[in-house]
Amino acid sequence: MTIGSVSHPPPPQRDWAYFFDLDGTLIEFADTPTAVRVTEELRSSLEQLHELVGGALALLTGRPIVEIDRLFPNRRLPAAGQHGAERRNAMGLVTSHAPERDLGPARQLLAQAVFDKPGLLLEDKGLSLALHYRRAPDLAGFVHQTMEALLADLDAEYTLQQGKSVLELKPAGKDKGIAVLEFMSEAPFAGRTPAFVGDDATDEYGFATVNELRGYSIKVGAGETRARWRLDNVKAVQQWLRSISD
Protein backbone atom coordinates (compact mmCIF):
# COMPACT_ATOMS: atom_id res chain seq x y z
CA MET A 1 0.00 0.00 0.00
CA THR A 2 1.18 3.52 -0.67
CA ILE A 3 0.50 6.31 1.80
CA GLY A 4 -0.14 9.98 1.22
CA SER A 5 -0.57 11.86 -2.01
CA VAL A 6 -0.08 10.44 -5.47
CA SER A 7 -0.11 12.44 -8.65
CA HIS A 8 -3.11 13.57 -10.68
CA PRO A 9 -3.91 11.05 -13.45
CA PRO A 10 -2.70 11.77 -16.97
CA PRO A 11 -5.09 12.90 -19.69
CA PRO A 12 -7.36 10.02 -20.72
CA GLN A 13 -7.00 8.32 -24.09
CA ARG A 14 -9.46 6.77 -26.52
CA ASP A 15 -7.59 3.46 -26.63
CA TRP A 16 -8.03 2.81 -22.88
CA ALA A 17 -10.60 0.50 -21.30
CA TYR A 18 -12.48 2.27 -18.50
CA PHE A 19 -13.71 0.80 -15.21
CA PHE A 20 -15.62 2.91 -12.69
CA ASP A 21 -16.89 2.28 -9.19
CA LEU A 22 -20.16 4.06 -8.42
CA ASP A 23 -20.77 5.23 -4.82
CA GLY A 24 -18.06 7.62 -3.67
CA THR A 25 -16.56 7.68 -7.16
CA LEU A 26 -19.11 8.74 -9.78
CA ILE A 27 -21.91 9.60 -7.35
CA GLU A 28 -21.93 11.04 -3.84
CA PHE A 29 -22.82 8.88 -0.87
CA ALA A 30 -26.26 9.22 0.71
CA ASP A 31 -27.73 8.01 3.99
CA THR A 32 -29.17 4.95 2.24
CA PRO A 33 -28.27 3.27 -1.08
CA THR A 34 -31.63 4.18 -2.61
CA ALA A 35 -31.25 7.88 -1.76
CA VAL A 36 -28.33 8.62 -4.10
CA ARG A 37 -28.83 11.04 -6.96
CA VAL A 38 -27.56 10.61 -10.51
CA THR A 39 -27.66 13.65 -12.75
CA GLU A 40 -28.57 13.55 -16.41
CA GLU A 41 -25.20 15.17 -17.08
CA LEU A 42 -23.40 12.17 -15.57
CA ARG A 43 -25.57 9.71 -17.47
CA SER A 44 -24.86 11.59 -20.69
CA SER A 45 -21.11 11.71 -20.01
CA LEU A 46 -20.95 7.95 -19.44
CA GLU A 47 -23.00 7.21 -22.54
CA GLN A 48 -20.78 9.47 -24.64
CA LEU A 49 -17.62 7.83 -23.30
CA HIS A 50 -19.11 4.38 -23.89
CA GLU A 51 -19.59 5.28 -27.55
CA LEU A 52 -16.22 7.05 -27.84
CA VAL A 53 -14.26 3.98 -26.73
CA GLY A 54 -16.28 1.47 -28.71
CA GLY A 55 -18.08 0.03 -25.69
CA ALA A 56 -14.96 -0.54 -23.55
CA LEU A 57 -16.47 0.92 -20.39
CA ALA A 58 -17.81 -1.02 -17.41
CA LEU A 59 -19.26 -0.16 -14.01
CA LEU A 60 -17.86 -2.22 -11.10
CA THR A 61 -19.81 -1.86 -7.88
CA GLY A 62 -21.18 -3.55 -4.81
CA ARG A 63 -24.69 -2.81 -6.05
CA PRO A 64 -26.64 -5.52 -7.88
CA ILE A 65 -26.87 -5.11 -11.63
CA VAL A 66 -30.59 -4.41 -11.35
CA GLU A 67 -29.72 -1.38 -9.21
CA ILE A 68 -27.15 -0.20 -11.75
CA ASP A 69 -29.85 -0.26 -14.40
CA ARG A 70 -32.19 1.71 -12.14
CA LEU A 71 -29.58 4.44 -11.80
CA PHE A 72 -28.61 4.38 -15.48
CA PRO A 73 -31.81 3.37 -17.31
CA ASN A 74 -30.96 4.71 -20.75
CA ARG A 75 -28.36 2.09 -21.63
CA ARG A 76 -27.41 -1.40 -20.43
CA LEU A 77 -23.73 -0.81 -19.77
CA PRO A 78 -21.26 -3.63 -19.16
CA ALA A 79 -21.17 -4.12 -15.41
CA ALA A 80 -19.96 -6.22 -12.51
CA GLY A 81 -22.40 -6.17 -9.62
CA GLN A 82 -22.06 -7.35 -6.02
CA HIS A 83 -18.27 -6.97 -6.24
CA GLY A 84 -18.04 -9.27 -9.24
CA ALA A 85 -20.42 -12.01 -8.06
CA GLU A 86 -22.57 -11.15 -11.09
CA ARG A 87 -21.33 -9.74 -14.38
CA ARG A 88 -22.84 -8.51 -17.66
CA ASN A 89 -20.47 -8.46 -20.60
CA ALA A 90 -20.50 -6.11 -23.57
CA MET A 91 -22.87 -8.45 -25.44
CA GLY A 92 -25.40 -8.29 -22.61
CA LEU A 93 -24.80 -11.82 -21.29
CA VAL A 94 -25.22 -12.00 -17.49
CA THR A 95 -23.41 -14.62 -15.41
CA SER A 96 -23.46 -15.10 -11.64
CA HIS A 97 -21.33 -16.80 -9.00
CA ALA A 98 -23.72 -18.33 -6.48
CA PRO A 99 -22.28 -20.52 -3.69
CA GLU A 100 -24.09 -23.75 -2.83
CA ARG A 101 -24.56 -22.67 0.78
CA ASP A 102 -27.95 -21.02 1.30
CA LEU A 103 -27.95 -17.50 2.77
CA GLY A 104 -31.48 -17.95 4.12
CA PRO A 105 -30.53 -18.61 7.77
CA ALA A 106 -28.04 -15.74 7.78
CA ARG A 107 -30.69 -13.49 6.25
CA GLN A 108 -33.12 -14.32 9.07
CA LEU A 109 -30.51 -13.88 11.81
CA LEU A 110 -29.48 -10.47 10.45
CA ALA A 111 -33.08 -9.32 10.23
CA GLN A 112 -33.53 -10.25 13.89
CA ALA A 113 -30.24 -8.59 14.88
CA VAL A 114 -31.16 -5.21 13.38
CA PHE A 115 -34.82 -5.26 14.47
CA ASP A 116 -34.15 -3.14 17.58
CA LYS A 117 -31.27 -1.16 15.99
CA PRO A 118 -33.10 1.51 13.94
CA GLY A 119 -29.86 3.17 12.81
CA LEU A 120 -28.74 0.05 10.95
CA LEU A 121 -29.84 -0.85 7.43
CA LEU A 122 -29.82 -4.41 6.11
CA GLU A 123 -29.50 -4.52 2.32
CA ASP A 124 -30.37 -7.87 0.75
CA LYS A 125 -28.72 -8.06 -2.68
CA GLY A 126 -29.64 -11.65 -3.40
CA LEU A 127 -26.15 -13.14 -3.61
CA SER A 128 -24.84 -11.04 -0.72
CA LEU A 129 -25.99 -9.25 2.44
CA ALA A 130 -24.78 -5.78 3.42
CA LEU A 131 -25.18 -4.19 6.83
CA HIS A 132 -24.91 -0.39 6.67
CA TYR A 133 -24.07 1.69 9.75
CA ARG A 134 -23.63 5.15 8.20
CA ARG A 135 -26.54 6.45 10.32
CA ALA A 136 -25.26 4.69 13.46
CA PRO A 137 -21.43 4.79 13.47
CA ASP A 138 -21.35 3.88 17.16
CA LEU A 139 -22.71 0.44 16.20
CA ALA A 140 -19.72 -0.43 14.00
CA GLY A 141 -18.42 -2.89 16.60
CA PHE A 142 -21.79 -4.60 16.84
CA VAL A 143 -21.96 -4.91 13.05
CA HIS A 144 -18.51 -6.51 12.82
CA GLN A 145 -19.19 -8.90 15.69
CA THR A 146 -22.53 -9.97 14.21
CA MET A 147 -21.24 -10.47 10.67
CA GLU A 148 -18.13 -12.35 11.80
CA ALA A 149 -20.32 -14.74 13.80
CA LEU A 150 -22.43 -15.42 10.70
CA LEU A 151 -19.34 -15.96 8.54
CA ALA A 152 -18.06 -18.65 10.90
CA ASP A 153 -21.09 -20.82 10.02
CA LEU A 154 -20.70 -20.46 6.23
CA ASP A 155 -17.44 -22.38 5.76
CA ALA A 156 -15.22 -20.90 3.03
CA GLU A 157 -17.92 -20.12 0.48
CA TYR A 158 -18.39 -16.56 1.72
CA THR A 159 -16.17 -13.74 2.90
CA LEU A 160 -16.56 -10.33 4.54
CA GLN A 161 -15.95 -7.17 2.55
CA GLN A 162 -15.46 -3.85 4.34
CA GLY A 163 -16.72 -0.71 2.64
CA LYS A 164 -17.37 2.83 3.81
CA SER A 165 -19.71 2.45 6.80
CA VAL A 166 -20.83 -0.95 5.55
CA LEU A 167 -19.79 -4.57 6.06
CA GLU A 168 -20.87 -7.12 3.51
CA LEU A 169 -21.22 -10.89 3.51
CA LYS A 170 -20.44 -11.87 -0.08
CA PRO A 171 -19.50 -14.94 -2.13
CA ALA A 172 -15.80 -15.78 -1.93
CA GLY A 173 -13.72 -16.18 -5.07
CA LYS A 174 -14.89 -13.05 -6.88
CA ASP A 175 -13.81 -9.42 -6.54
CA LYS A 176 -13.38 -6.33 -8.70
CA GLY A 177 -9.87 -7.35 -9.72
CA ILE A 178 -11.12 -10.65 -11.10
CA ALA A 179 -13.93 -8.78 -12.86
CA VAL A 180 -11.37 -6.53 -14.57
CA LEU A 181 -9.46 -9.60 -15.78
CA GLU A 182 -12.67 -11.16 -17.11
CA PHE A 183 -13.57 -8.02 -19.04
CA MET A 184 -10.02 -7.58 -20.35
CA SER A 185 -10.13 -11.07 -21.88
CA GLU A 186 -13.13 -10.11 -24.04
CA ALA A 187 -13.95 -7.68 -26.82
CA PRO A 188 -14.08 -4.70 -26.85
CA PHE A 189 -11.80 -4.45 -23.78
CA ALA A 190 -9.08 -6.86 -24.93
CA GLY A 191 -5.87 -5.23 -26.14
CA ARG A 192 -6.59 -1.90 -24.47
CA THR A 193 -4.88 -0.23 -21.51
CA PRO A 194 -7.15 -0.49 -18.44
CA ALA A 195 -8.00 2.51 -16.25
CA PHE A 196 -9.82 1.86 -12.99
CA VAL A 197 -11.30 4.62 -10.79
CA GLY A 198 -12.52 3.81 -7.27
CA ASP A 199 -12.63 5.14 -3.75
CA ASP A 200 -12.57 2.45 -1.05
CA ALA A 201 -11.23 -0.91 0.11
CA THR A 202 -13.41 -2.87 -2.32
CA ASP A 203 -11.60 -1.15 -5.19
CA GLU A 204 -8.09 -2.08 -4.07
CA TYR A 205 -8.46 -5.45 -5.81
CA GLY A 206 -9.11 -3.59 -9.04
CA PHE A 207 -6.16 -1.28 -8.48
CA ALA A 208 -3.82 -4.24 -7.92
CA THR A 209 -4.97 -5.95 -11.12
CA VAL A 210 -4.70 -2.79 -13.20
CA ASN A 211 -1.19 -2.19 -11.85
CA GLU A 212 -0.18 -5.68 -12.94
CA LEU A 213 -1.57 -4.92 -16.39
CA ARG A 214 0.44 -1.65 -16.44
CA GLY A 215 -2.70 0.42 -16.58
CA TYR A 216 -3.97 3.45 -14.67
CA SER A 217 -5.22 2.91 -11.11
CA ILE A 218 -6.91 6.04 -9.74
CA LYS A 219 -7.93 6.50 -6.10
CA VAL A 220 -10.70 8.96 -5.22
CA GLY A 221 -10.14 10.83 -1.95
CA ALA A 222 -7.67 10.38 0.87
CA GLY A 223 -6.29 7.20 2.44
CA GLU A 224 -3.81 4.43 1.89
CA THR A 225 -4.03 2.80 -1.51
CA ARG A 226 -2.34 0.67 -4.14
CA ALA A 227 -3.46 3.18 -6.75
CA ARG A 228 -0.76 5.17 -8.51
CA TRP A 229 -2.85 8.25 -9.20
CA ARG A 230 -5.46 10.20 -7.25
CA LEU A 231 -8.48 12.45 -7.76
CA ASP A 232 -9.73 14.51 -4.82
CA ASN A 233 -13.46 13.75 -4.84
CA VAL A 234 -16.54 12.88 -6.87
CA LYS A 235 -16.61 16.31 -8.50
CA ALA A 236 -13.01 15.86 -9.66
CA VAL A 237 -13.92 12.47 -11.15
CA GLN A 238 -16.86 13.97 -13.00
CA GLN A 239 -14.65 16.76 -14.33
CA TRP A 240 -12.08 14.21 -15.48
CA LEU A 241 -14.89 12.23 -17.11
CA ARG A 242 -16.08 15.31 -18.97
CA SER A 243 -12.56 15.90 -20.27
CA ILE A 244 -12.61 12.39 -21.77
CA SER A 245 -15.79 13.15 -23.69
CA ASP A 246 -14.41 16.50 -24.79
Catalytic residue positions, numbered: 21
CB 205 within 8 A of CB 161: no
CB contact at 8 A, 53 and 16: yes
**Which residues on adjacent β-strands are paired with residue 95?**
87
Prior bond of 188 cis (ω within 30°): yes
Q: How far apart are CA 80 and CA 59, in angstroms?
A: 6
Please check whether residue 113 is in contact with residue 144, taking contact to mean a CB–CB distance below 8 angstroms: no
From CA 119, how far away is CA 97, in angstroms rounded? Answer: 31
